Amino acid sequence: MTTLLGLDLAGRTVLVAGGGPVAARRARAMADDGAHVRVVAPQVCEDLRDLVTASLHAPLLAPSSARRRPDDGAAPGGRVTWAPREVRESDVEDAWLVLAATDDSGTNRDLAAWAAARRTWCVNAGAAHEGTARTPATTHSGDVLVGVVTDVPPAPLSADVRARERRAADGSAERRGADPRRARAVRDAIAEHLRSGGADQRRHRPATGGFGSVTLVGGGPGAVDLLTVRGRRALAEADVVVADRLGPVDVLDELAPGVEVIDVGKTPGNHPVPQHEINAILVEQAQRGRRVVRLKGGDPFVYGRGGEEVLACREAGVPVDVVPGVSSALSVPALAGIPLTHRGTVAAFHVVSGHDGLDAAALAGVRDRTATLVVLMGVSQLARITAQALGAGADPALPVAIVESGSTPRQRVTRAPLGEVVERAAQVGVRAPAIIVVGDVAAEGRLDPATVA
């Protein structure tokens, strides 16, 4: 039977016998975990040689981002050294773990036997059933590490070589032994479940030092499946979610029971929870030791006031990070079939807030047709924006598209020339939230085959 354990290899010697790609992958992984890896092989592949060379120039290898530890931000770096010769029994003496990955099955079996005699765990990469340990198929979700192995009895380390060869020849050990493909398939299914936010990943022990943390998550334009994998993971780890009115609000229905949701949504002209109070909520919740997700529409740093929230957290000494989102300025036009740049038409775009009107750069781009203009939060200011553009000399026939409720089932596109768009929007009842696109790319049928350059 198999007992699944997590090993702390930091600062401990691991013997890797063999110099091929399998040895290189395993050596890299264990060095990332902080192990002191000693490779013994007459020759090594290019990847392993590069790993050894990197260790010579920087003895402590930096851990990969996937293996960072939550307590201090990083795992101890590892070392990789190489002895260019055949492996021998004495190499096992000071090893905590042995990886037999040579191209000779007999040598691998000998290594397993030498390790077993010293009560040292050994992974036989070529015949997993002949080792005393197996490498699981693993996946990370933040600081959660999941491993999958098949639960089978190992083959006995008999001194009778002929008995071992008979077991290898009839294949019975493999049939009842480790099944790496099956383990990987299960691992992949678990990884997908974690990525989709299907598992409750909240912490159940208080945060170190009593402080929690704040994560600003950009939720994208509104559709739940446009929320990033990292954003889904942050929500799965959250104790409390501070949510806006816009963005993927349907994802709130998928949160685990007990997750607190604080609604701070704003509507045009109505801000029931002002920004300074939102900042205070984030800080207060984190100071109670909770993991806080600030779920915002679009991207937190594109007219999302995310910078103010980060600053408030840092001033209070609260750990804070940001998960970028798919900005509605880019995604909503794309979902409506409007390319912001298009070869032979326009090579730049300019994003503005409707509340601020059009600056000189925006007006020049519209007048000269050198940049597509994208206006966020501009429905209530449509008449003003249009008047500014026309007053600056923009062509009244310049195409305009207004995309309402982008990425949702309620998405609607209204098109009209610049000189007529205000009247047309009033006729059809355009309402926020909406993105306004001004420029030749907004023309009806721009991507139809007959119009593609």
Characterize the bridge pairing of strands 372-376 and 79-83: unpaired
What is the Cα 293 distance to its own chain's centre? 16
Per-residue pLDDT of 135-179, as tens digits, reads 888 888 877 888 888 876 655 554 454 455 455 445 444 445 667
297 in Cβ contact with 328 (< 8 Å): yes
**Other beta carbons within 10 Å of 426:** 11
Residue holding tokens 């007006």? Answer: 363
Amino acid in the structure at residue 249? V
Coil, helix or strand at residue 16: strand
Distance of CA 86 to the CA centre of its chain: 41
Neighbouring residues of 358: CB distance < 8 A, sequence distance ≥ 6: 352, 366, 373, 385, 388, 389, 392
- β pairing state of 399-404 and 260-263: unpaired
Helices (H) and strands (E) in the chain — how many of each?
13, 17
Task: Give the pLDDT score at 199.
Answer: 81
Q: What is the pLDDT of residue 69?
A: 42
Q: State which H helix or E strand residue 385 sits in.
A: helix 382-391
Q: How far apart are CA 194 and CA 229, in angstroms?
A: 9
C-alpha–C-alpha distance, residues 2 and 129, integer Å:
11
- CA dist 315 and 283 (Å) reads 10
> Looking at residue 243, what DSSP letter applies?
E
With b for 16 or more beta-carbon neighbours within 10 A and e for fewer, the 307-329 pattern comes to eebbebbeebebebebbbbbbbb
Count the helix, strand and coil residues of the chain and give each as a percent rounded to the nearest 5: 35, 20, 40
Across the chain, which has 453 residues, the per-10-residue mean pLDDT values are: 86 95 93 93 94 76 47 58 96 96 95 96 89 86 83 57 50 57 85 80 68 95 93 93 91 90 78 90 95 96 96 97 96 97 96 94 97 96 97 98 95 97 97 96 90 51
pLDDT of 291 reads: 95
Is 116 within 8 Å of 147 (Cβ atoms)? no
Tell me the three state secondary structure of residue 226: helix
Are the CB atoms for 413 and 442 separated by under 8 Å? no
d(CA 365, CA 91): 70
CA 335, CA 333: separation in Å to the nearest integer? Answer: 5
Helix (H, G, I), strand (E, B) or coil at 445: coil
3-state secondary structure of 240: strand
Predicted pLDDT of residue 293: 97
Residue 445 burial (CB count, 10 A): 9
Give the residue numbers annotated as catalytic, written as ranges.
244, 266
Tens digits of residue pLDDT in 232-285: 999 999 999 999 988 899 999 888 889 999 999 866 666 689 999 999 999 999
Q: Cβ(376)–Cβ(435) under 8 Å?
A: yes
pLDDT tens figures, 326-359:
999 999 999 999 999 999 999 999 999 999 999 9
